[in-house]
Structure 1
Amino acid sequence: MNLDSLSFALSQISYLVANLTKKNYKQSTQELSHLVTSYGLEADRHLLRCLFSHIDFSAEGSKTSSSKDFHQIQLLAQECVALLTKPTLISNLCYALDNPLHHQKALKPSAQLFSLLSKVLKLTPVQEVVFGLALLHSSNPDTQNFASQFVKLKLPDLIRSYIDTESSSSQQEGGLHEAAPEVLHLILTNLLYGPKDQFGIVTETRETFLKSLRRDFPRELVPVVLAPLLYPNKPDLPMDKVNQDNSTMTNTMLDGSLADLIMEIGYGFCSSLEECRNSLVNLGACEMSPPAVARVLGMMVRTHTGLEEQVALQNIQTPASFWSSAGDSGSKDKGTTDANHPTSWNVEIFVQTVKELVPNLPWKDIILELDHTEFVVKDRQGLTLLFTGLRLGLQSHGFHSEMFPVDLLYRHWKNADGQ
């Protein structure tokens, strides 16, 4: 029933996107937003895939309100703005462009692809660069190559315009001065830790760019996500700043972002206690709340088998990967093969790690928080995984492994389908 529910939701997204008109635009976009909120990552990336697939990027001339795909373009442009700050930016964008629906013939890798995307969607200079950087992780080598060329063409001008604002009163519309910290983090990470000279940025320009950023983000005001990049030799931040950003992170975790991030990492996330602990620390999830843990367990129940390979976060070069000790990377077995890769979630390791990081976590509250819209149990294996995890967690509250507070499950749920 639950699997059919997701399939129906994806079909409904396809239908709504294909039939967008001026008359139904507001109602359809509201329904699409509700479906994405209810079904999470799968619905979100399917929406993006459908929008890219229903737009004719090969048409010459400017799109007008009479164009058959005008409303799809309008909605996709809005989605692209929101996409910039989503943790699933890279995987969702790569998935949408690498796997267009069968009727889309214009999204094939080419030297003109990025220019067409920019022209049709009216991308800002920042969006152009972010799209290029994201598609460096495409599964198609040709797309990676064209993305690299596009970024090399656009990034120097974007950085130069930002540097020039120091001596000019005018600012480029859609430039870096308007960019979110997440966007600056993506650009800086690639600039500082990517292949040398990949984007044609000379050392002098890079250092001037960093100096300009430090001017606009003094140490006492710099977002935590940018601090290690702008002030690598001064890792300590004022505690009020850390607490402020941790509070923001906690609120973000409540809406399911942690579950989405873990899903992107894949089954290897809980391949061992050490791996799970390090991943949670790097994700800033040392202080997890019951809603966050409940959403992670719900995600594991939904995706315990057949999880498609995502763009693994730990394989994307980030400053965190450079903080790891050399011993960590050297300790991995170089002879590891696909046969040794986990094929499901090891919920015991996840629960044990959570209990170590948050020993006083109220596991009864986690059961209550299972009542959320994304919670579905589609088969017996998923149910077994759920109860295994909850029983292990409840043991810290004195519950015997054979005892379970079923009264918490039989109360009235808002999410009746999940119950």
Structure 2
Amino acid sequence: MIHNHWVKPLGGLLTLGVVLLAGRMSCAASITYNSILSMRNHRYDAQIVHQIGKGGYALYTAGPYHTNRRTLTRDANGSDHTNQYVRVMQTKVTRTGTYVKLRYFNQQLGWMNSHGIKRVSFASVIAGTMAQANFSGTAALISAGKTQPTVVSAGLADASTKTANSNNGTVLYPLASLQKAITGALIQQLISQRKLSPSTPLSRYYPQVAGSQRITISELLSMTSGITNPEQFPRQSPSETQAVSLALKTLKTSTNKTFQYSDDNYVLLAGIIAKVTGNSYAANVQTRVLTKLGLTHTFLVTRSQPSLTATLAQSATWTPADPYATPQSVTLPRFAALVGAGNMLTTPGEFTAVIQGMQNGQILTKKQYRQLLRYGTVYSGGFYVNRDGIKYNNGSFSGLTYHTGYYATTGNYHAAIVFSNRAPLRNGLSQKDFVAQLYRVAVYY
């Protein structure tokens, strides 16, 4: 039998007396508790600087009342979170010190003496997460619906010139497949203007494609058209018309209407945009997107592309001997062949403006954006849509280490736009998983 009773001793501390009666044996033990003098619910980002070891501060599972090392703590299971970034959820002041309740991503860690942490900025959390992963590139994160992203860069864009990665326009990154969202938005504009319909057949524009009378605009947007294709590596940069012609010559079609990822769906959509409007795809992107948003560091790579003054971030490989080994870039002909599907250079900050513009009326209204996401159940309009409340996409070029990633809530309340120019990441972390990890930083910090 166990009897518990509260006793108030001298000094205002509360003592829980525990009396154990078991046959002829009885004993008494007491644990000293702290009384709470004040409490604050202000939240902020922090880093655990010293947890386990000499002079460290324990993590207590039951609140700031347990201030004795003999009390059970989370430390007992070997979980050392030193140097990890945490979120302070609550602060309580006691007679023996100030204690903070800590959350690590979505896990409640417990309570720690405030001397065991240091306050940091949101940008510091991003930078620290990048450093832990050995990341090189630039990321833009939106947290809690903020209109301006927090942008952080790490590493070098070009090791030969010691040019650091940057978001200010002096460094440009290949957008790769994230560009498909822009092409999808232009098609949605034309649908909203009744110049196209989701059910419009491909045969209206490209009757030479086998089975084109049974392929619709919505199927191109959702990549359920049955079209497949090899990647193109032309020797010379094709014009927009030549890039579409190259796709028409090499693509294959089938009656398989399940999702199959193929760049040529969006190369054909770029050609359709030009045919419907009477202007090139590049001209439509300029007037309908770039000019409207005031973007000055976003460019389409075409045969007639003007010379760039910015540095093109180099694809590099990390090795123990050389952290930026085998520097390479995408060839101009390879870029130009991906019209509408991956022939754009930009910065994470400017692409953030694009994805925001797709919902705030500058490019699309919210209603139009929601329609763009409903043409498929796996992929639609340049986004994967198979996760409830989440939209994401990833881009890369085979044989190179570039990676672009977008991972966000449907309304961009939390979002991560991540452009990387080096691989591999530390501990075998994939580029896709790192984008998702930065999204979690945006959600929980």
TM-score by length of structure 1 reads 0.21
TM-score by length of structure 2 reads 0.20
Between the two structures, name the one with larger relative contact order (CA 8 Å, sep ≥ 6).
Answer: 2
